[in-house]
Amino acid sequence: MPNQEYVDIYSYSSGNGGGKRNRNQPPRRRKKKKSGWKKAVITIFSILLVLVGALVCVGWYFLGDLKIDTTFPKSDEELGIEGSIEEDSSITNIALYGIDSRTHDDQGHADATMILSVDKKHNKLKLISILRDTQVQVEGYGKAKITTSYWWGGAPLAIKTLNQNFDMNVRDYVRVNFDQLADVVDAVGGVEIDVSPEEIPEINSNLHSIQLYDDDVSESGMLTLNGNQAVAYARIRNVGSDTARASRQQEVLAAMLTKVQNMSMADYPGFIKKITPLVTTSLDYGEMISLMGILPSNPELETYTIPGEEENAWGGIDDGAWVWQYDLEAAGDHIKRIIYETDGEENAAE
């Protein structure tokens, strides 16, 4: 066969200007171009990484001052949760504690103990107040008011007491000191509250007790209360029963929620930046973002107080202290019917 010369296409490159390949040299491998779809995947992935990084930075900027309790126990045993308790992934129960500490720290009695149920199934927020003078069993201490469980053991013992006495499955908490609550109210621009004539002197007395003399309320009716005034309103003890006191606390929180829901998107960053240093919680960032996802759907807010009429509670002196006594097991069943709406009937807020 006659000799033939072959033109090696691999020998043409920007480096040698063309020509024939020496047959004694191995052919150079041509770099294959990435296909279009591979480039697209890499580009999209890179953009996502940048966006995630930006979101983390933004999230840290706004939530970085939030006090997250990383030592809070998570096991059912430590939290006093029984294995038979009903669970629903679309409903999350969180304990809310308003701490009455005049020394401006987190050591104090739980002046407000509430269960916030975030119900994505029915698009509702359910706020259930447990009266502070409810007599319960506190592990290691015996019979006591539920308010003192926080004083003795902080959030871990307070939530364990709540779960054990009412057969609940509360796994997380949010805590704010009442003196910090004033700052939260101011952060939303005050709250709209209908103040009765009888409540005016009580508000002012509560303000004077903490040396605040410039925030006196002088008239009744629908008023915009600032932070100090709203906290003084929530602390009223001498108008109505302890149930009325719990209702006032719920009223302040509901008014705050209304303000938050009516905020423009442009106001949210500043609001979040203001309140995060005032709150302590066991929820992590991902859990908080997931729970806040219900807000844009304008959920219905329902408020309840335990004991209510169904509990048939008795109030009186026991061991030298005034307490509420009632069937805690029946009250627990009532709470679960409110939360899970398992009775097949529409629960009416009390």
Structural domain span for residue 307: 71-340
On whether both 58 and 76 belong to a single domain, the answer is no
Q: What is the 3-state secondary structure (H, E, C) of the chain?
A: CCCCCCCCHHHCCCCCCCCCCCCCCCCCCCCCCCCHHHHHHHHHHHHHHHHHHHHHHHHHHHHCCCEECCCCCCCHHHHCCCCCCCCCCCEEEEEEEEEECCCCCCCCEEEEEEEEEEECCCCEEEEEEECCCEEEEECCCEEEEHHHHHHHHHHHHHHHHHHHHHCCCCCEEEEEEHHHHHHHHHHCCCEEEEECCCHHHHHHHHHHHCCCCCCCCCCCEEEEECHHHHHHHHCCCCCCCHHHHHHHHHHHHHHHHHHHHCCCCCCHHHHHHHHHHHCEECCCHHHHHHHHCCHHHCCEEEEEEECCHHHCCEEEEECCEEEEECCHHHHHHHHHHHHHCCCCCCCCCC
Residue 36, pLDDT score: 59
Sign of CA dihedral 341, 82, 130, 329: positive
Assigned domain for 236 exists: yes
Whether 35 and 110 map to the same domain: the answer is: no
Asked if pLDDT for residue 267 goes beyond 50, the answer is yes
223 vs 289: which has the higher pLDDT: 223
pLDDT band at 190 (very low <50, low <70, confident <90, very high): very high
317: pLDDT confidence band, cut at 50, 70 and 90? confident
Q: ∠ CA 100-104-107 to the nearest 5 degrees? A: 55
Percent of the chain past pLDDT 90, that is, above it, reads 47
156 shares a domain with 26: no
Q: How many domains are there within the chain?
A: 2
Tell me what pLDDT residue 62 has.
Answer: 52
Confidence of residue 57 (pLDDT cuts 50, 70, 90): very low
pLDDT higher at 105 or 185: 185
Is position 280 within any domain? yes
102 vs 167, higher pLDDT: 167
Tell me if 254 is assigned to some domain: yes
Average pLDDT over residues 321-325: 90
pTM: 0.73
Q: Is residue 100 part of a domain?
A: yes
pLDDT score of 27: 57
Kindly state whether residues 282 and 211 are assigned to the same domain.
yes
pLDDT number for residue 291: 85
Query: In terms of domains, do 13 and 124 share one?
Result: no
Q: pLDDT value at position 12? A: 42
Amino acid letter, residue 188: V
Domain-located, residue 269: yes
Cβ-contact 68, 282 below 8 angstroms: yes
Q: Are 37 and 120 part of one and the same domain?
A: no
Residues 196 and 50 in one domain: no
Whether residues 154 and 245 share a domain: the answer is yes
- CATH number of domain containing 105: 3.40.630.190
